Amino acid sequence: MGLFSRKTSQTLLPIRHFIAVIFIFTIILLIVFKVEDISNDTKTVIGHNLQPTPWHIFPVREFKNETRLARTSRIVKCSYLSCLTSSSNGEATFTSEAETCPEFYRWIYHDLEPWAKSRVSYDSLMEAKKFASLRVVIISGRLYVEYYYDCVQSRALFTVWGLLQLLKRYPGSIPDVDIMFDCMDRPIVDKKDHTAMPLPIFRYCTTPDHFDIPFPDWSFWGWVEVNLGPWQEEFKSIKKGSKVTSWDKKFPYAYWKGNPNVLSPIREKLLLCNDTNKWGAQIMRQNWALEIAQGFKNSKLSNQCNHRYKIYAEGYAWSVSLKYILACGSLPLIINPKYEDFFGRGLFPKENYLPISPKNICPSIKTAVEWGNSHPAEAEAIGKAVQDYMEQLSIDRVYDYMYHLITEYAKLQDFKPVRPPAALEECVDSLICYADETQRGFLERSAASPSSTPPCKLPPPNVEMIKKQIEAKNAILNKSELII
Ligand X SMILES: *[C@@H]1O[C@H](CO)[C@@H](O)[C@H](O)[C@H]1NC(C)=O
Out of 475, 481, 482, 484, point to the residue binding ligand X (CB under 6 A): 475
> What is the nearest approach in angstroms of ligand X to the Cβ of residue 457?
32
* Of residues 284 and 422, the one with the C-beta less far from ligand X: 284
* Coil/strand/helix, residue 445: helix
269 part of the interface to ligand X, by CB under 6 A: no
Near ligand X by CB under 6 A: residue from 26, 140, 438, 474: 474
What's phi and psi for 190, nearest 5 deg?
-65, 130
Q: Are 135 and 148 in contact (CB under 8 A)?
A: yes
State the nearest-atom distance from the C-beta of 445 to ligand X, in Å.
Answer: 21
- Tell me the C-alpha distance between 464 and 469, whole Å: 9
* Cβ-contact 161, 446 below 8 angstroms: yes
Return the range that interacts with ligand X (CB under 6 A); candidates 43-51, 67-75, 225-233, 468-476.
Answer: 468-476
Which is nearer to ligand X, 369 or 390 (by Cβ)?
369
Least distance between ligand X and beta carbon 390 (Å): 26
Is 284 an interacting residue with respect to ligand X (CB under 6 A)?
Answer: yes
The region of 74-82, 221-229, 397-405, 471-479 touching ligand X under the rule CB under 6 A is 471-479
- Among 271, 432, 447, 465, interactor with ligand X by CB under 6 A: 271
190 pairs with which residues across the strands? 210
- Given a contact cutoff of 8 angstroms between Cβ atoms, the answer to whether 341 and 217 are in contact is yes
Burial class (CB in 10 A: 0-12, 13-18, 19+), 340: buried
Cβ partners under 8 Å of residue 119, min gap 6: 412, 413, 414
Q: Which is nearer to ligand X, 385 or 472 (CB)?
A: 472
CB 283, min distance to ligand X, A? 5
Return the number of the residue (271 or 412) whose C-beta is nearest ligand X.
271
Pick 170 or 253: Cβ nearer ligand X: 253
Q: Are 168 and 89 in contact (CB under 8 A)?
A: yes
285 touches ligand X (CB under 6 A):
yes
| 410 counts as binding ligand X under rule CB under 6 A | no
* Amino acid at site 319: S
Based on the shown chain and the rule CB under 6 A, indicate whether residue 432 belongs to the binding site for ligand X. Answer: no
Supply the DSSP symbol for 349.
B
| Smallest separation (angstroms) from ligand X to the CB of 46 | 11
Binding to ligand X (CB under 6 A) within 241-260 occurs at: none
Query: Could you tell me which stretch among 93-101, 279-287, 293-301, 407-415 binds ligand X (CB under 6 A)?
Result: 279-287
Residue 283 interacting with ligand X (CB under 6 A): yes
Q: Is 476 in the site for ligand X (CB under 6 A)?
A: no
Nearest residue (CB) to ligand X, 271 versus 465: 271
Per CB under 6 A, the list member of 153, 274, 407, 462 interacting with ligand X is: 274
Taking residue 80's Cβ as centre, other Cβ atoms within 10 Å add up to 16
Choose among 49, 134, 141, 130: nearest CA to 88.
Answer: 141
- Of 5, 11, 65, 67, the one binding ligand X by CB under 6 A: 65
463 binds ligand X (CB under 6 A): no
- Which are the contacts of 476, defined by CB distance < 8 A and separation ≥ 6? 349, 350, 355
Q: Does 306 bind ligand X (CB under 6 A)?
A: no
- Burial class from Cβ neighbours inside 10 Å (0-12, 13-18, 19+) for residue 54 reads exposed
Pick the piece of the chain touching ligand X (CB under 6 A) from 24-32, 118-126, 165-173, 467-475: 467-475
What is the number of residues in the chain? 484
**What's the min distance (Å) between Cβ of 484 and ligand X?**
19
Helix (H/G/I), strand (E/B), else coil: 134: strand
What contacts 181, CB < 8 A, 6 or more positions away?
132, 133, 134, 135, 136, 159, 201, 202, 203, 215
Interface residues with ligand X (CB under 6 A) are: 65, 271, 274, 283-285, 471, 474-475, 478
